[in-house]
Amino acid sequence: MSNDKSMYRRMLDGEPYIADDPSIARDSRRAQRLTHLINTLDPTDHGRRRELLRELLGTFGEGSEIRPPLQCDYGYRTSVGDRTFANWGLVCLDVATVTIGDDVQIGPNAQLLTATHPLEAGPRRDKWEYAEPIVIGDNVWLGGGVIVCPGVTIGADTLVGAGSVVTRDLPTGVLAVGSPARVIRNLL
C-alpha cells in the first residue's frame, strides 16, 4: 500500500491507513484528554459535561445525554442527534463517521466500531487498517452490550436486543436479536 498522501488524509478519505502515524496521533490524544475530563467530572455537573461533549463530538444534539465512561478514537467523527441517550460505557471507535439520529436509546456497554482490518496477513502485520461508517436512524433502541460492526446502517424505529452483534444493515421498524443479529419481527 502506498503512502503518497498523509495517513490523516487517507483515514479521512476512507482509505487504508496506519493508526499510530504521527499525523493521526494528535487527534487521538485530544479525544483521550477530553474523554478523561468527561469521565472524571463530578457526576452532578451536567452543564460542564455537555460543554465537553460539544467540544469533543462533531455535533451533540439538544436534550441529549451520554453517561460516562465514554471512549472514542477521535470524537469529531461522531454526530449525536437531539434527545438521544447513551448509558454508561459507550465505546465509539469513530475512525469513520458515526451518525446517531434523534431520540436514540443506547444501553450500557454498547460498542459502535467503524475500524476494521485487512483479511490478508501481510497488510495486517504491517498495521494497516481502514474504517467504514455507521449510521443509526432516528428512534432506534440498542440494548445493553450491543455491538455494531463497521459499515452498518440501522433503520429508524428499529430495536436491537441486548448482547446482539449487528454485522449487516437492518431495515426500518424491526426487532433484531442474536449474533449475528437477525430480524425476528416487524414493528411497524
Q: Which residues are catalytic?
A: 117
Residue 97 DSSP code: -
Asked whether the CA dihedral 76, 77, 83, 86 is positive or negative, the reply is negative
Residue with C-alpha cell 501481510? Answer: 122
SS3 127: coil
Q: What is the DSSP code (8-state) at residue 104? A: -
Q: Which cell goes with 121?
A: 496477513
Check: CB of residue 90 under 8 Å from CB of residue 70.
yes
Q: Which of 67, 99, 86, 77 is nearest to 141 (CA)?
A: 86
Task: Determine how many CB atoms are found less than 10 A away from the CB of residue 120.
Answer: 10
